[in-house]
Amino acid sequence: MNSTTNDGEKMEKQMWEDIKAKNWNAVESKIAEGFQSVHPDGARDRASEMSLIKNLNVGRIEFNDFRSTMSGDNVVVTYMISVQETIDIEQLPTKPTPRLSVWKKGAGGWQWICHANLNPIP
């Protein structure tokens, strides 16, 4: 694994820390305009994802099994995460679930362009 693929793990962990700290300026600055995500309840664009994230309260986070690969100017990151998440007043399951993100390197730095969250949202 080279330093660029290691960046994938660092970017994911930093994004989670920013979400946990409710550092919305940092979060929004990293999400690309054409961002898309998919969750068990459907797909989201950038605005819908930000709305979801802003209603999220994050507690303890545990990461496992990071894998990052390069494809051109993109780094694809997969991992398992166990996280205490509450949306509004609904506690989500904390069992480890897979996640996938794609980050694209551009003139302004790395941008989050895609995310798959396989943790069921009640």
pTM greater than 0.95: no
Going from N- to C-terminal start, the domains of the chain cover 3-117
Q: Each residue of 3-61: pLDDT tens digit?
A: 555 789 999 999 999 999 999 999 999 999 999 999 998 999 999 999 999 988 899 99
d(CA 29, CA 117): 20
Q: What is the pLDDT of residue 1?
A: 46
Q: Domain 3-117 - what CATH class?
A: alpha beta
Whether pLDDT at 2 is above 60: no
Pick the closest to residue 98 from 55, 53, 65, 54 (CA basis): 65
Q: Each residue of 59-105: pLDDT tens digit?
A: 999 999 999 999 999 999 999 999 887 777 777 767 899 999 999 99
d(CA 84, CA 95): 9
**Mean pLDDT of all residues in 91-120:** 90
Q: What is the pLDDT of residue 86?
A: 73
